[in-house]
Amino acid sequence: MNLLKWLSRLSLVLLFVLLPLVGCSTNEATGRSQFLPMSWEEEVKIGNEAAPEFIDQSGGELPDQGVVNYVRDLGARLAAQSEMPEIQWEFFVLDSQVINAFALPGGKVFMSRGLIEKMDNEAQLAGVLGHEIGHVTARHGNERMGKALLAQGLILAVGIGGAVSDNEWMQVLGVGTAAGGQLFLLKYSRSNELEADALGVRYMAKVGYNPVGQIQVMEILREASGGSSPPEWLSTHPASDTRISKLEEIITKNYPRYKDEGYYNMGFDSFTKNVLTPLSKLPPAKHGASAFLSPAEFEKLAGISWQDAMHVGCDQCAKQAN
């Protein structure tokens, strides 16, 4: 065996010995143990540094403060019901027609105008915001970045007490690339999405919104895709039949009064008055020539085929569903 191969194998042995000893903790929101290479303070710092570029790449913030305040208020009420009510949550509405929503590490949540315009009630908006809040409380960003570092061979520096530079964190996040953070955001597994779905339902139900709003969003986006060109939010958050079935199972079991008239709020009238009507009076969105990514665009962006992306984490997802 040559020296290079021997060192590679030694590195792998060290990795699996050191990994359980570094950064592992039990997440309060999910109840499972995670390897988290970043501290919470580092997550906040990375989110603060990345947010301006994401906003700039997505047409800037929506030029209607009333709608922005409305989304921020709903987001704050949902976050107050999460396992991390004390952190500095921030909610942004992007002036983009691209159908998208995402969260950065540290508590920054982004919604696109294009996604909001597909909705017709507050419960749907609460479902998406709750889902993204769930990604933050589950610390999926930190967890996924750790896996990305592992793939890049950088994780050993963390394991032996070294430090990953801010520039290296930002490269993992995708900042500075032509596609921005999508290179990172596309990497959530289906198991991550199931966790965020369940947490989102938990938070929206606590605030009084009907959890079926989350299922309605999945159905809206699936219909919008037309069966061929998936909305960007479906690229990062695949709305598979498995996810919808799991949501139906969770809601039926844990929120059996979702069918009782008046028990939960849907918020049709207030959503129309405070969101849809003001949006209809604005000029076209500054960003997004198309609301959809073509399969070719997706594959170029992600570096994997659409079919492969739809099956990422499928085995793990099936195990959790059972």
**The predicted structure's pLDDT at residue 17:** 42
Between helices 190-207 and 314-321, what is the axis angle to 10°? 40
12 occurs within a structural domain: no
Domain that holds residue 35: 22-321
**C-alpha atoms less than 13 angstroms from C-alpha of 64 in its C-beta half-sphere:** 20
**The predicted structure's pLDDT at residue 20:** 46
How far is the CA of 214 from the CAs of 26, 118, 185, 237, 320, in angstroms? 27, 13, 20, 13, 19
**The predicted structure's pLDDT at residue 8:** 44
6 occurs within a structural domain: no
Burial track 294-305 (b if 16+ CB lie within 10 A, e otherwise): eeeebbebbeee
- Kindly give the parts of the chain with pLDDT less than 70: 1-23, 146, 148-188, 225-240, 289-322
76 occurs within a structural domain: yes
Q: Coil, strand, or helix at residue 255?
A: coil
3 occurs within a structural domain: no
CA distance 81 to 65: 25
27 occurs within a structural domain: yes
9 occurs within a structural domain: no
241 occurs within a structural domain: yes
**The predicted structure's pLDDT at residue 71:** 98
5 occurs within a structural domain: no
Sign of dihedral through CA atoms 245, 214, 317, 179? Answer: positive
**The predicted structure's pLDDT at residue 178:** 39
Per-residue model confidence as pLDDT tens digits over 201-227:
999 999 999 999 999 998 887 777 665
Q: For the chain, what is the domain count?
A: 1
